[in-house]
Structure 1
Amino acid sequence: MRKTLMVLAAIVLLSSLAQLFFAGYFHFQNTIEAQREAGVYHVLNGQYVLRYGALLAAIVAAIARMGSRTIWLAAGIFLMTWVQLFIFIIGGMLTGSSEDFITPSGSWVASIHPITGLLIIFMSYWLFSRARAAALNPQPLPPKDTSSDAPTSPASA
């Protein structure tokens, strides 16, 4: 299970790095139509591959008994993908911004999106590091307690 977690964590890390590439690809398009087409990659990768990869990683980390820190790290990435989405939804409602018209205050709120995106990249790296260490350096099992198997006699005590 720990190797499965390492593979999932690698997918989450690569997906988070791809988000940065897709954001740049989206930003540097010449026309609005080309931007909308390019933005699909960023949206689909973030809302499906990254989000549900992190959710699967949290579930596998729990099954593999990786410890609460690793489980919460994977769950945190999953939750941060929702924060990324809600930045635009709630920010648009509070500032009166829309996809076609962005107010100055809406720009300030939307500027949080790349900062939290960088946090997701760092969290993904930490998750991969923890999963890789656990998969490549497994802990030995504790020794069996053999004293309870042998009958004890009062003379030997």
Structure 2
Amino acid sequence: MRKTLLVLSAIILLSGLAQLFFAGYFHFQNSIEAQHEAGVYHVMNGQYVLRYSALLAVIVAAIAKAGSRTIWLAAGIFLMTWVQLFIFIIGGMLTGSSEDFITPSGSWVAAIHPVTGLLIIFMSYWLFRRARALALNPQPLPPKAAASDASASSATA
């Protein structure tokens, strides 16, 4: 399970980095129609690949007994993907912005989106490092099993 967590954390990290590429690809299109088509990659990757990979990482980290900090880190990434979405929904409701008309205050609220996106990338990097350390280090035996192994080896010696 720890290797599965490592693979999932790598997917999360790569998906977060791909979000930067997709945002740039979206931003540097020549027409509004092309921007809408290019924005689909950014939206789908963020709302499906990144979000549900993080949810799977929470479950796998719990099964792998990766520790509470690792589990909470994966859960934080999952929650931050929802924050990314709610920045636009709540920000639009509070500032009167819409997809067609953005108010100046709506621009300030929307500017939080890339900052929290970078936070997701940093969190996914920390998750990857923790998962890598867990996968590379051997798993210690539980106290009862370690005691029985020690008594068995001393009895045969």
TM-score (norm 2): 0.91
Change (3 A) 1:65 1:33: same
State the match for 1:154 in structure 2.
none
Letter aligned with residue 42 of structure 2: H
TM-score (norm 1): 0.91
Moved beyond 2 Å, runs of 4+: 144-149
State the match for 1:33 in structure 2.
33
Aligned pair partner of 1:145 in 121, 143, 148: 148
2:109 and 2:138 map into 1 onto residues whose CA distance is: 44
Deviation at 1:137, TM superposition (A): 1.2
Q: Report percent identity of matched pairs.
A: 86
State the match for 2:23 in structure 1.
23
Q: Which runs of 5+ in 2 are unaligned?
A: 153-157
Aligned length: 149
Letter aligned with residue 61 of structure 1: A
Matches within 5 A, 1:101-112: 101-112=101-112
RMSD, aligned CA: 1.5
Letter aligned with residue 145 of structure 1: S
2:151 and 2:29 map into 1 onto residues whose CA distance is: 72
Partner SS for 1:144 = helix
Change (3 A) 1:19 1:147: closer
Letter aligned with residue 136 of structure 2: L
Q: Which has the higher helix share?
A: 2
Q: Which has the larger radius of gyration?
A: 1
